[in-house]
A and B are shown apart, each in its own frame.
Chain A
Amino acid sequence: MSRGVIGNNGMRVKDVLQNYVFLLPALILFATFYIYPVYKVFELSLFEYDGISPHKYFVGMGNFADVMCNKIWWTSMWNAAYITILALVFQNALALVLALIVDKDLKGGKFYRVVFYLPPVLSGIVIGLIWNWIYDGNYGLLNHWLSTLGLGNLARSWLADPKTAITCVAIIHMWRGFGWGFIILLAGLQNIPRELYEAARMDGASGLDIFRRVTVPLMIPVFILVAVLTVLGTMQIYDLIVSTTGGGPGYHTEVPITRILAAMIGSSRFGYACALGLVFGVVLLVASMSQLRLSRHLKQT
């Protein structure tokens, strides 16, 4: 860890102060725009408050107790976790495969580099319209294709069927999101010195060996970064839900953010919504911290 640290021994005061100057702008912004709102959210989570009236009532941990025994909330959490698991596996696998292919000097590599980043650029409105058309129960493309293939009995209203709704939403989400992982992974792959590959090839290593022994160890920090971003991005899925299922049918595609907004705006339980937000934040924090831990562990071995 101490590799490349300036002035490890005998730090002078002036030196240290200089070092803090590097941090100063970021620190000021952080202190103003993060600490205060979070403190406010924490404070309000202890009150019963409608977000409008000048009065609020202290309820202590009451809101948190309500959160803990709210089954719908934990269902929404599980729904988001389900999409996250799918995304961690399939979305990132796709991103990695594509990044590995494009990383080689391939004909048309530049073209693919550009094209794969298009889905994240697209507006959510367009994505909603197109996928609603694909999944539609009556005139949908998917049902049309299935019946041409002679699988007409599988046809259904994909987004209205509780068995398929959430997976269908997850597929849209993964399709939309793989471009992010793709460019981060590609940047990481490009960072690996080509000589290392050549040296390994000289030693007679096969493609798979090179991948295992050269690429993977060097890419671990990047993998973890992509994994953390996938978890954070997917757990907070929101606009896609609104434009496809609205959380239905029933509660089958409800996710944490839709629940928090329902509490805050729908039923005007502001303090309760703050409590939900905090619980959600802590879950995300634990999830990402354990991933970072894992990365440190992997780096050492």
Chain B
Amino acid sequence: MIKFKMNRYVTHKRLKGFLMHLVLVSVAVTCIFPLVWMFSSSLKTQDTVFSDMSIFVNNPKWGNYCEAWTKGRFGTYFFNSILYTTSVVAGVVFFASLAAFAFARLNFPGKNLLFYMFLITMMIPIPGSFIALYVLLSKLNLINTRLGYILPQINAGLALAIYLLKTFFEEIPKDLEDSAKIDGCGKFGVYWHIAMPLAKPAIAVIVVFNAMAVWNEYLLAMLILSSKSLMPLQRGLMVFQGAHITRYPLLMAGITITVIPIVIVYLLMQRHIITGITAGAVKG
């Protein structure tokens, strides 16, 4: 009897596990397929890319990658994009965590008002403000400079990051903070040694989101930057998409090249999302 029950329990569990995996696998397939399609298209030629829909390419044109790299001037643009992405991400994480720490753990007049002001920036995105931004940057002499491209993007990332980090910082137990203070930590010490390490998952999420946003950004780049030498990676992809003619294999090769770094960033960061806070650390 007991054995029977155990068996049923086991089959039930197995069935549940099977169903779970079925869901996961089917969603996973829809996520991977476009990538595979993109990759196989990047190895075809312009006349086979839409007529031959097979995934395994008979006569792969690896040369497409070479051509995409040189035609798209990816060398220069890659350097620029890495520079912009690291600068913006570092800026967002640093400035937002400082502000979020103040909102979560410090007291000062006008706290709520200021916090809501930041939140509102996240909520009222104004498409019409593009030209106003241009006028402002040209008054500040920042048109066609790297700084002029980086600062507005840091600003754009702040609100969400502040909100996310504030929720994490609020969860930090008071005793942890007190014991740090007894050890002689000032406010900045508490922020740096206690709050930041505990907010690792949130920081990882912020890094992933902002890195992707900056990496894929091009409208602002087109507006603010004028010289080729300052343009980010997405500018390279434009070359393959003419007003009338799109060179699909080269475009797909180019996109594949640009997707790789962002996947790597995610691979590096997702570990921290998971192992960020262990139960012990929170209990203190």
Question: What residues make up the interface of A, taking CB atoms closer than 8 Å to B?
Answer: 3-8, 11, 16, 18-20, 22-23, 25-27, 29-30, 32-34, 36-38, 40-41, 44, 51, 94, 97-98, 101-102, 106, 108, 110-123, 125-127, 130, 175, 179-180, 183-184, 186-187, 190-191, 193-195, 221-222, 225, 228-229, 232, 236, 257, 260-261, 264, 270, 273-274, 276-278, 281-282, 284-285, 288-289, 292
Give A102 to B207 CA distance when docked, in angstroms.
Answer: 21
B158 touches A30 (CB 8 A): yes
Interchain Cβ contacts under 8 Å between A and B, 13 examples: A4-B104, A5-B107, A29-B158, A38-B126, A113-B274, A114-B267, A115-B32, A116-B27, A117-B270, A123-B237, A130-B33, A225-B163, A285-B123
Given contacts A108-B24, A116-B31, A260-B127, list 4 more A-B pairs with CB under 8 A: A27-B114, A38-B126, A41-B132, A183-B208
A101 to chain B, nearest CB (A): 5
Residues of A within 8 A of B162 (CB): 26
B262 touches A121 (CB 8 A): yes
B136 touches A190 (CB 8 A): no
Q: Which of B20, B34, B152 has the most CB of A within 10 A?
A: B34
Residues of A within 8 A of B160 (CB): 229
A37 touches B126 (CB 8 A): yes
Residues of A within 8 A of B151 (CB): 29, 32-33
B127 to chain A, nearest CB (A): 5
Kindly state whether residue B155 has any CB partner on chain A within 8 Å.
yes
B177 touches A25 (CB 8 A): no
Q: Among B117, B190, B255, which residue has its beta carbon within 8 angstroms of that of A125?
A: B255
Residues of B within 8 A of A292 (CB): 119
**Those of B123-174 within 8 Å (CB) of chain A:** 123-129, 131-133, 135-136, 140, 151-152, 154-155, 158, 160, 162-164, 167-168, 170-174
Kindly state whether residue B282 has any CB partner on chain A within 8 Å.
yes
Kindly state whether residue B57 has any CB partner on chain A within 8 Å.
no
Residues of A within 8 A of B164 (CB): 184, 225
| A232-B105 in contact given A23-B114, A115-B32 (Cβ < 8 Å) | no
A46 to chain B, nearest CB (A): 13
B205 touches A278 (CB 8 A): no
B30 touches A4 (CB 8 A): no
Kindly state whether residue B89 has any CB partner on chain A within 8 Å.
no
Give A187 to B23 CA distance when docked, in angstroms.
Answer: 21
Q: Among A19, A20, A257, which residue has its beta carbon within 8 angstroms of that of B127?
A: A257
Give A33 to B224 CA distance when docked, in angstroms.
Answer: 14
B124 touches A26 (CB 8 A): no
B53 to chain A, nearest CB (A): 8
Give A34 to B102 CA distance when docked, in angstroms.
Answer: 21
**Those of B103-125 within 8 Å (CB) of chain A:** 104-109, 114, 117-125
Q: Among A29, A94, A225, A281, which residue has its beta carbon within 8 angstroms of that of B123?
A: A281
| A33-B133 in contact given A121-B263, A122-B35, A281-B123 (Cβ < 8 Å) | yes
Contact count band on B: 35 or more
Give A190 to B228 CA distance when docked, in angstroms.
Answer: 44
- Interface pick from B1-9, B62-70, B71-79, B92-100: B92-100
Residues of A within 8 A of B237 (CB): 123
Residues of A within 8 A of B126 (CB): 37-38, 41, 274, 277-278, 281
Q: Which of B31, B135, B170 has the most CB of A within 10 A?
A: B31
Kindly state whether residue B241 has any CB partner on chain A within 8 Å.
yes
Kindly state whether residue B230 has any CB partner on chain A within 8 Å.
no
A214 to chain B, nearest CB (A): 13
B255 touches A123 (CB 8 A): yes
Give A232 to B78 CA distance when docked, in angstroms.
Answer: 30
B204 touches A288 (CB 8 A): no
Residues of B within 8 A of A175 (CB): 30
Give A231 to B161 CA distance when docked, in angstroms.
Answer: 17
A260 touches B28 (CB 8 A): no
In the complex formed, the residue of B with least CB distance to A264 is B128
In the complex formed, the residue of B with least CB distance to A263 is B128
Give A101 to B275 CA distance when docked, in angstroms.
Answer: 16
In the complex formed, the residue of A with least CB distance to B254 is A123
B196 to chain A, nearest CB (A): 13
Query: What does the 1/0 interface line of B259-284 toward A look like (CB < 8 Å)?
Result: 10011001100100111110100110
Give A186 to B168 CA distance when docked, in angstroms.
Answer: 14
A295 to chain B, nearest CB (A): 10
Give A205 to B186 CA distance when docked, in angstroms.
Answer: 43
Residues of A within 8 A of B32 (CB): 115, 118
A6 touches B105 (CB 8 A): yes
Query: What does the 1/0 interface line of B186-210 toward A look like (CB < 8 Å)?
Result: 0100110000000001101100110
Residues of A within 8 A of B28 (CB): 111-112, 115-116
In the complex formed, the residue of A with least CB distance to B205 is A187
Give A32 to B136 CA distance when docked, in angstroms.
Answer: 9
